[in-house]
Structures are given as C-alpha cells and as structure tokens.
Amino acid sequence: MSLKNSPTKLTNKRLLIALLSLTALVTTIAACQPTTAIYSGEFAWLNHADIDNDIEQAIANKDYRLIAIAARGKALPGINAEQSQTAKRHCKLKYLKGLGDNKGKKNSPQRQFWQTAYEYAKQFNLALISYCDLN
C-alpha cells in the first residue's frame, strides 16, 4: 500500500511546491511595481499632475498666476503671510479643484489627497512667485 501512495503523495507535494513558488513569484513582481495613488473626485487632476512640467508650461505661457486655497482667507501655499498680502494685490490667482478649506477627516483619503494637492500648490507657488510683479 505504501508504494501506491508514494507517487500520489510525491505529485501532491510537487504541486504544492509549484503553487507556493508561483504565489511567491507573483507577490514579488507585484511588490516591484511602482505604486501610484489613484486620486478620485475633485482630486482626479492629481493623477496627471507633473509639477516640473506644469511650472515650465506656466512660465513658457507667461501664466504667472499663483495657486490659492478656495477658503475665507485665500491662503497661498508656500508663501509667507507678509508676502502673501502683497502677492494677492499684485498677482493673479487660480484655484485647483479640491483645494478648499474642507480637508476631510483625519486619516481619510480626502485628507491625504488634500495634502498632496497642497504640496503641489506650495511647490508651484514657490517657483512662480519670482515671476509675479510684487512692486
């Protein structure tokens, strides 16, 4: 009886090893793929945002508008309070979808999307503030 069971046990063992190896391979390949956040709703524009290219395009098109947060005080990410007041008087502003005063609940996807949008706006404003005529 042990001779009849040996080939079956060996085949099952090989099948199990092959299955585990395949699982490990798929897991390894998946882990090596770049992780890209999938933004949705008001933040869908972040899926295609390229800060360096967007800055280059704005400068090439002489579009020196700064990004403001659509809130009561029109905050300019990356610009200090003193310079912000001058910039609001002398520079044109634009608003990005989703970048308002509603940040979403703590640790929510909306909060994370908002923070990503804020960082984008901050980098953009810091790059373009020198093109704005503040005098």
pLDDT tens, residue by residue, 20-63: 655 555 554 544 444 455 777 778 878 888 999 999 999 999 99
Q: What is the pLDDT of residue 59?
A: 94
| CA 7 to chain centroid | 54
Residue 35 is given by DSSP the state P
Between the two ends of the chain, the Cα-to-Cα distance in Å is: 97
Q: How many whole angstroms separate alpha carbon 11 and alpha carbon 32?
A: 32
Percent with pLDDT over 70 in the chain: 63
The pLDDT mean for the chain works out to 76
Q: What residue ranges in the chain does DSSP mark as E strands?
A: 66-70, 93-100
Entry pTM: 0.65
Q: What is the pLDDT of residue 30?
A: 47
| Token reading at 14 | 């090989």
